[in-house]
């Protein structure tokens, strides 16, 4: 326990203090009090804001297992960066965005996007004091950035992107989107129609 006593004389402001039986000068006392106030302010700020987990955008190509296919909750084709797509990631230190490309007939490419917390949670059993106990740890298997993954099939490829900031998995793909594909098909059909009128 710290006891602080200030010594003043008649008409003079205090010029020294005692902390745990040791006398300090006024400058030392003020410096010590200032450090204590800053430390308390930092602790109170941390407590009031709370330690929060990473937040990422989450959306799916298909509804999650157990949900009906007519649900529109958090589907990536409705992704608009609104709050309904934000989730806390207590077992992740990274956000993930997965771009999936599937080439079908006549050079048409279908694109899908998946956003979520990076899969880093590792659950296991540990043998402690003669019994098994469930344990959880967060692994760090991913490097920050993007990497292309080819699964041996020439018709599809996938790009995984990982990042460490809150809501960092929002970026759009630099490749052609569904709207671009539909525009090309529309122009092609329009040209075909114009040629048939001649």
Per-residue pLDDT of the chain (198 residues; tens, 9 = 90+): 444 445 555 555 556 666 666 777 777 766 666 655 544 544 444 444 445 789 999 998 877 677 666 556 788 888 999 999 999 999 999 999 999 888 777 878 888 899 999 999 999 999 999 999 999 999 999 999 999 887 666 667 889 999 999 999 987 543 334 444 444 445 445 555 566 666
> Are 21 and 63 within one domain?
no
> Are 32 and 89 within one domain?
no
Q: Distance (Å, rounded) from C-alpha 35 to C-alpha 29?
A: 10
Q: How many domains does the chain have?
A: 2
CB atoms near residue 152 (< 10 Å): 5
**Inside any domain, residue 198:** no
For residue 28, the Cα-to-chain-centroid distance in whole angstroms is 44
> Are 93 and 121 within one domain?
yes
Check if the beta carbon of residue 28 is closer than 8 Å to that of residue 16. Answer: no
Say which residues have a Cβ less than 8 Å from residue 41's Cβ, sequence separation at least 6: none
pTM: predicted TM-score of the whole model, two decimal places: 0.57
> Are 75 and 28 within one domain?
no
> Are 76 and 45 within one domain?
no
Write out the residue range of the structural domain in which residue 32 sits.
4-49
> Are 44 and 107 within one domain?
no
**Inside any domain, residue 29:** yes
Three-state SS letters, the chain: CCCEEEEEECCEEEEEEEECCEEEEHHHHHHHHHHHHHHHHHHHHHHHHCCCCEEEECEECCCCCCCCCCCCCCEHHHCCCCHHHEEEECCCCCEEEEEEEEECHHHCEEEEEEEEECCCEEEEEEEECCEEEEEEEECCCCCCEEEEECCCCCCEEEEEEEECCCCCCCCCCCCCCHHHHHHHHHHHHHHHHHHHHC
Alpha-carbon distances, residue 108 vs 39, 64, 105, 151, 176 (angstroms): 61, 27, 6, 19, 11
**Inside any domain, residue 155:** yes
pLDDT for residue 101: 84
HSE-CB at 100 with a 13 A cutoff on CA atoms is: 13
> Are 35 and 58 within one domain?
no
pLDDT for residue 62: 78
pLDDT for residue 153: 62
pLDDT for residue 94: 97
> Are 34 and 129 within one domain?
no
Alpha-carbon distances, residue 101 vs 112, 155, 178 (angstroms): 6, 8, 11
> Are 35 and 72 within one domain?
no
Check if the beta carbon of residue 106 is closer than 8 Å to that of residue 52. Answer: no
pLDDT for residue 73: 73
> Are 172 and 77 within one domain?
yes
pLDDT for residue 93: 96
**Inside any domain, residue 197:** no
């Amino acid at each position: 326990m710290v006891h602080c006593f200030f010594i003043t004389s008649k008409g003079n402001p205090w010029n020294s203090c005692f902390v745990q039986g040791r006398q300090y000068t006024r400058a030392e006392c003020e410096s010590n009090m200032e450090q204590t106030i800053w430390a308390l302010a930092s602790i109170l700020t941390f407590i009031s804001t709370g330690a929060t987990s990473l937040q990422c955008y989450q959306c799916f190509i298909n509804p999650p297992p157990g949900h009906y296919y007519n649900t529109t909750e958090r589907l990536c084709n409705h992704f608009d960066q609104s709050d309904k797509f934000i989730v806390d990631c207590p077992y992740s230190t990274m956000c993930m965005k997965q771009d999936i490309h599937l080439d079908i007939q006549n050079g048409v490419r279908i694109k899908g996007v998946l956003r979520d917390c990076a899969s880093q949670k590792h659950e296991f059993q540990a043998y402690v004091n003669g019994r098994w106990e469930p344990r959880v740890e967060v692994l760090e298997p991913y490097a920050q950035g993007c990497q292309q993954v080819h699964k041996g099939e020439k018709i599809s490829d996938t790009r995984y992107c990982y990042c460490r900031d809150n809501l960092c998995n929002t970026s759009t793909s630099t490749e052609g989107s569904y709207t671009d594909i539909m525009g090309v098909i529309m122009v092609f059909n329009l040209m075909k129609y114009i040629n048939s009128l001649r």
